[in-house]
Amino acid sequence: MSADTGARPTLAVFVSSHGFGHASRSCAVLEHLCDLEPELQIELFTRIPQWFFASLGQHLHFHELDCDLGLVQTDAFEVDYEATLSGLADRLPFQPDLIQNLAQGVSALGCQAVLCDIAPLGLAVAKAARLPSILVENFTWDWIYSGLAQQAPVLENYATLLQPHFAGADIHIQTEPVCLPAENAHRLGPIARTFRMSVSETRDALSVASTDPLVLITMGGTHIGFPFLEQLKDRFPEIRFAVSGASETVETDHSLTLLPVRGPLHHPDLVRAADLVIGKAGYSTIAEIYAAGVPFGCFIRADYPEMGPLVKFIEREIPAKMLAPEKFANGAWLEELPELLGMKRVSRSSISAAAECASLVRTSFLGRR
């Protein structure tokens, strides 16, 4: 799988746009890969906004592409099965013309391999272009669809269609929390983006004193409202709250700071600066909390296949308490806030699974160690 040593190393990357977790993991790996290969060119295919990958700088060539439906959700907790099935019917099986055009495109761009964060379209493109394929995942859509087939039996048909694409990856990398361990896969720890600012710098940017308790509320990249905001100010004036995704601009009102999704502060830095994170149990949030060692009040969707493995990992590795999603909107979870703030953070080693993954990807498509 080694490339022509005279060619500039060029990697096609297909990233699922189902939330920001896959983009966060991919970005973390690609940042380290750019450090290993300063001449690396990244041809990125996704519908995640380009700004999310700004840290990749001049290495990045962005191609907006709807490369993975995943699941359509009405909010952070609920799946819209009708819209999901309609979207999958439009996409699967993959249209041969689409695959061929994309295969010709990545070949014309000089790509030497294709990296996919659970986007099966990229795996089909790699096969058509006769390029090595690298799959990074903690779950695959065929597994998710099979797990949800009781609610929507047709999903089993789509699981059957997608399974060969995932099984056919040349290099398979799984990152904790892994949902279904695969034979012959490389197994790595949780992957989170690198911290950029110190805790004190982040708190200074939020105008939060080092002695003030700080709670970060974050629900990932999925749209959701925060109807309990007035309760935060009225009931807990002594606690500072930062709420990610609650405003289009940075707004501060007494003890409350509302932050946009595309905010001035790096999300992993916000996580590390907090004394407690409240949020949905999703991949990137878990990975960032794990790296920071911060306690977690996590909302669990019991009917979602990924939740079992995620919860087992959280219970084993993170100081946490599980919260019911029906308590989110009305603020009933606030009754548990004193207990949640009583949990202590833990220290972590500086071993980076993102750096390990980047090294594996580099070896896979360049033959370099």
Question: For every one of its 369 residues, what pLDDT tens digit does the chain have, with 9 covering 90 and above?
Answer: 334 445 789 999 999 998 899 999 999 999 999 999 999 999 999 999 999 999 999 999 999 999 999 999 877 788 899 999 999 999 999 999 999 999 999 999 999 999 999 999 999 999 999 999 999 999 999 999 999 999 999 999 999 999 999 999 999 999 999 999 999 999 999 999 999 999 999 999 999 999 999 999 998 766 678 889 999 999 999 999 999 988 889 999 889 999 998 989 999 999 999 999 999 988 999 999 999 999 999 998 878 899 999 999 999 999 999 999 889 889 999 999 999 999 999 988 777 899 999 999 999 888 776
Q: What is the pLDDT of residue 220?
A: 74
Please give the pLDDT value at position 5: 42
| pLDDT at residue 59, rounded to an integer | 97
Query: Among the residues of the chain, which ranges form H helices?
Result: 21-36, 81-91, 96-108, 120-129, 141-147, 155-167, 199-205, 229-235, 267-273, 283-292, 307-317, 337-341, 353-366
User: Distance between CA 300 and CA 157 in Å, rounded?
Assistant: 27
Q: What is the pLDDT of residue 223?
A: 63
Identity of the residue numbered 358? A
Query: Which letter does DSSP use for residue 83 in this model?
Result: H
Neighbours of 75 (CB within 10 A): 16
User: In angstroms, rounded to a whole number, what is the distance separating the alpha carbons of residues 174 and 29?
Assistant: 13
Cα 111 to Cα 129, 323, 333: the distances in Å are 10, 45, 49
pLDDT score, position 222: 63
pLDDT confidence of residue 96: 97
Q: Closest Cα to residue 9, out of 44, 45, 33?
A: 33
Q: Are 49 and 19 in contact (CB under 8 A)?
A: no
**Domain range summary for the chain, segments of one domain joined by +:** 10-191+352-366, 199-341
Check for a shared fold between 10-191+352-366 and 199-341: yes
The model's pTM is 0.94
CATH topology of domain 199-341: Rossmann fold (3.40.50)
Q: Measuring CA to CA, which residue among 295, 253, 302, 358 is closest to residue 37?
A: 358
CATH of segment(s) 10-191+352-366: 3.40.50.2000
Contacts of 250 (CB under 8 A, 6+ apart): 257, 258, 259, 260, 263, 264
φ, ψ of residue 302 in degrees (nearest 5): -65, -25
| Sequence-separated contacts (24+) of 126-131 with Cβ below 8 Å | 126/12, 126/170, 127/168, 128/99, 128/100, 128/102, 128/103, 129/103, 129/104, 131/12, 131/106, 131/107
